[in-house]
Amino acid sequence: MIVAEEQDELKVKLKEFFGYGNFRGNQEPVIRNILSGRNTFVIMPTGAGKSLCYQLPAMILDGLAIVISPLIALMKNQVDSLNAYGINARFLNSTLNKAEITQLRKECANGSVKLLYVAPESLNKEENISFLRKIKISFVAIDEAHCISEWGHDFRPEYRKIKTMLAQLGQMPVIALTATATPKVQLDIQKNLQMEEADVFISSFNRVNLFYEVRPKKETKKQLIKFLKDHKGKSGIIYCLSRKKVEEIAQLLNVNGFKAVPYHAGLDPEVRVKNQDDFLNEEVEIVVATIAFGMGIDKPDVRFVVHYDVPKSLEGYYQETGRAGRDGLEGVCLMFYSHNDLNKLEKFNKDKSVQERENARILLQEMEFYAESPVCRRKQLLHYFGEEYPENNCGACDNCVNPRERFDGTEHVKIFLEATVQTSERFGLNHIVNVIRGVEDEYVKSYGHTELKIFSKGDQEDNDFWKSVGRQALIYQYLEKDIENVGVLKLTQKGKKFLVKPHRIELARDHDFTTAIDEEEESAERAVQAKSYDAKLFEVLKSLRKQMARERNLPPYVIFQDPSLEEMATIYPTTKEEMASVNGVGMGKVNKFGKEFIEVIQKYVEENEIETAADVVVKTSVNKSNIKVFIIQQIDRKVDLDEIAAAKNLSFGNLLTEIENICFSGTKLNLDYYIDQVLDEEKQEAIHDYFINSESDSIEEALADESNADFSEEDLRLMRVKFLSEYAN
């Protein structure tokens, strides 16, 4: 009866402070444990309600609860949320000035503040330790506790000092919380905080509403735009590794009609805060961010998380994907993967200590295994965090929806387990594979492993094949990782039984991502590739162009140039807007010549059931759009071209290139006022006659023609702009 009353009382408090009628998952036992004054270790996935585990006890217990948190953005978001509930929570970090700190200390001393969020760097300051010693502290919560572990994905040295700081504040209960911790990381956190005796509460890592997918990083921008069009109007986060890439992708999305903002540490704090708030308040749909964004961001309706670049670790990946579908509804997690990303990340680690480099390499290797493995993604993720998923097909990842080719792997698993046993269960994946394949490197020879019966027994298969066998044996629980010795593999009871009495095991072929090309290489690759446009449609469009040119008594290139026809035969534009986005077209030319071309493309698309530009076209932003507007305005005012060039610090040749780009995209420019100064009427007519009779508007061909011997390249370029403006635009 007393238990029931206590339970009811706790639910009353939950309703009173936070408006919820019931607890979720492990929240209630965790809260009771804290209220009883015991040290508590909580591992609870993103979106499962970790914060409430310390926020509710803070309201119930006497004194001030201290929450150690790693990010200013995280503190602000949580403090704002608590203040909205009428709870007096504050933060102490480097953004506060002296007057604000004085006021904060006063409110903490008089008991009006119940929760104080502190950065570890701030807690480490002597004046703050001295002040907090005078305050009654109910307990200390360490959020994002994985930052303590050198084996975690986001290790921070200042987190390692937390235990020393807390010792100066006296005895009080400690609650450590994290969303991501492998068994090795869990052990490391408890040892460092000297709370091995703490009660541990581990919730399931399975986010049943999330769909996981990995795609090769090929034509990534096109894939991204199509994905976002399929999720139009939904909230999402796109993670990139660099600030430069964040800015580039945010700009790309805005040009293509999505409301997107960048978020990274290089932005002014006010801009970062505004962009975060705009996302939370649904002023924008998408945040393109580095990993600085998202820790503790409480937005339940994020419908997708895209990793444009490969994350540094599976822990980071899991935590970031966990920001999708926190309301229990749809959440899609898409990662673009290429080996090149892994190589870049390896280079980032070159200045770290030997131990840190090795840790980072192991984390990257796990990321590689996850991406390339054919096994159910959910099963892999849960296994990584020490939880076993009983099914082999979750129905909610790309590997399960589109299963890979399977084969009888019984003999291969048997060889791998025997090699693990014969090497005394003291080595990692790479060494075991080398023994199986008969690689006589110094390491293998130094242990005498060339003499083993199993040595070279699998030399008919390559390195990647045997690594895949080992990884699948791990996931299917024939092998396990040694927690004390990182990377070392041992047999499980299941593995030992299998060696005594083998049974059929089916394995699957890994994904092959060796052909994936990332964005930086794509443009160079495209330049040397064979033409990828639809040759049949291209010929149809050329025929139409010739017919229209004949009717108007014009050269065909005046209608549309070949590169424009090639792009039309690539993206199949079927509306005026899509046609106007084609390079060298623009709305002016669409209105003048576009109708017939759109009709022909529409018919061709219907007859051949082709995916259209609405699905695949990617508009790119013009970097010099401000220059473009400036040039048009100055020409309208008949400003001398030399003056325009000087105003923008351009050479005359570069200015002409800008003018040509404007003209080729369909904008009519009247350069008569300038041309009349440099070319007399007779010369203008001669160049005009050349272009009207030429099959091409190529300047190189014009210079090679004897009839133009008296004209400079500048003369010809100026007259080509005049000619196209009169006839084409």
Q: Is the dihedral of CA 366, 368, 372, 378 positive or negative?
A: positive
Can you point out the beta strands (E) in 26-107?
40-43, 64-68, 89-92
Mean pLDDT score of the chain, rounded to an integer? 86
Categorize the per-residue pLDDT at 292 as very low, low, confident or very high, splitting at 50, 70 and 90. Answer: low
Do residues 569 and 533 make contact, with C-beta atoms less than 8 angstroms apart? Answer: yes
Least confident among 284-288, 296-300, 329-333: 296-300
**Mean pLDDT along residues 560-585:** 85
**Per-residue model confidence as pLDDT tens digits over 201-253:** 998 899 999 999 999 998 888 889 989 989 999 999 999 988 989 999 998 89
For residue 698 the two structure tokens come to: 């190529």
**Portion of the chain with pLDDT greater than 70, in percent:** 92
**Per-residue model confidence as pLDDT tens digits over 390-406:** 888 999 999 999 998 88
Least confident among 413-427, 476-490, 500-514, 623-637: 623-637
Structural domains in the chain?
A: 2-202 (3.40.50.300), 210-390 (3.40.50.300), 405-508 (1.10.10.10), 530-616 (1.10.150.80), 625-727 (1.10.10.1390)
**Mean pLDDT along residues 116-134:** 89
Nearest CA among 44, 49, 332, 323 for reference residue 204:
44
Least confident among 183-192, 547-556, 584-593: 584-593
Q: Residue 153 has what pLDDT?
A: 63
Rounded Cα gap, residues 283 and 299, in angstroms: 13
Q: Which residues contact 274 (CB under 8 A, 6 or more apart)?
A: none
**Per-residue model confidence as pLDDT tens digits over 422-444:** 999 999 999 999 999 999 999 89
**Per-residue model confidence as pLDDT tens digits over 37-93:** 999 999 988 777 889 999 999 999 999 999 998 877 778 878 888 888 889 999 988
**Mean pLDDT along residues 584-613:** 84
Can you point out the beta strands (E) in 100-240?
115-118, 137-142, 174-178, 199-202, 210-216, 235-239
Least confident among 350-364, 498-512, 550-564: 350-364
For residue 441 the two structure tokens come to: 């490197």
User: Is the per-residue pLDDT at 716 higher than 70?
Assistant: yes
**Per-residue model confidence as pLDDT tens digits over 78-89:** 888 888 888 999
Looking at residue 502, its amino acid is: P
Rounded Cα gap, residues 94 and 611, in angstroms: 53
Longest dimension (CA), the chain: 108
Categorize the per-residue pLDDT at 420 as very low, low, confident or very high, splitting at 50, 70 and 90. Answer: very high
Categorize the per-residue pLDDT at 530 as very low, low, confident or very high, splitting at 50, 70 and 90. Answer: very low
Categorize the per-residue pLDDT at 361 as very low, low, confident or very high, splitting at 50, 70 and 90. Answer: confident
Rounded Cα gap, residues 334 and 571, in angstroms: 24
User: Is the per-residue pLDDT at 528 higher than 60?
Assistant: no
What is the pTM (predicted TM-score) of this model? 0.66
